[in-house]
Structure 1
């Protein structure tokens, strides 16, 4: 299956039960587009989380931060609708010792206009939110 937003390929991963609340719908996993970073529910995810650094070197390799970070990026399309979820994910990523705003800067440098949202603008809005 390819991304409905850009036609790119997906990386699928299971979403741990403690992060399910941040995933739209009730699917047990998610898929993120390698080309635009759009997030989609995944009904049949793999059993283990793949190395999400294959999306970009900016994605942390720490298991506790990678999935929340990818979920965060996927929710950035609507700060208003996902404000609580985004705030909770930011806090969780920071607790794992990762600077989410720095990662967004690096993802913006890598993906630029190909990303499903304007990462630079969303980063500025997140700074104001925090």
Structure 2
């Protein structure tokens, strides 16, 4: 399957029930584009979570932080619309011992203009939110 935004390859992931509230829509999973990091609903996700560091080495390897980081990046297209979810995900990622702003810096360095949002600009905006 390819990304409807850029045509890149998608990585499908199941979203654990405790994180479903942060996923737009009712789908039980999500697909993340390897090219632009856009998040899309996935109606038939795999049973197991793939190695998300295949997207980028900036994705944390900590089990409790990888999926929240992917969800966070996917929601950054609208800070105003997803502010509550973004704030909750930032807090959850930090509780896992991962600096979410550093992850965004590293993803911005890797993806740059290919990302579905300007990660550097969104990072600065998140700093102001916090």
Q: What TM-score, normalized to structure 1?
A: 0.99
Give the superposed CA RMSD. Answer: 0.4
1:38 paired to 2:42? no
| 1:61-110: CA deviation from partner (whole Å, max 9, x where unpaired) | 11100000000000000000000000000000000000000000000000
Structure 1 gaps, min length 5: none
Equivalent residues in 2 for 1:1-130, closer than 5 Å: 1-130=1-130
Alignment size in residue pairs: 130
Instruction: Name the SS of the counterpart of 2:74 in structure 1.
Output: helix
For the residues of structure 1 that align with 2:121 and 2:12, how far apart are their CA atoms?
27
Q: Which runs of 4+ in 1 moved over 6 A?
A: none
For the residues of structure 2 that align with 1:85 and 1:24, how far apart are their CA atoms?
10
How far residue 38 of structure 1 moved from its aligned partner, in angstroms, is: 0.1
Instruction: Name the SS of the counterpart of 1:3 in structure 2.
Output: coil
For the residues of structure 1 that align with 2:47 and 2:18, how far apart are their CA atoms?
16
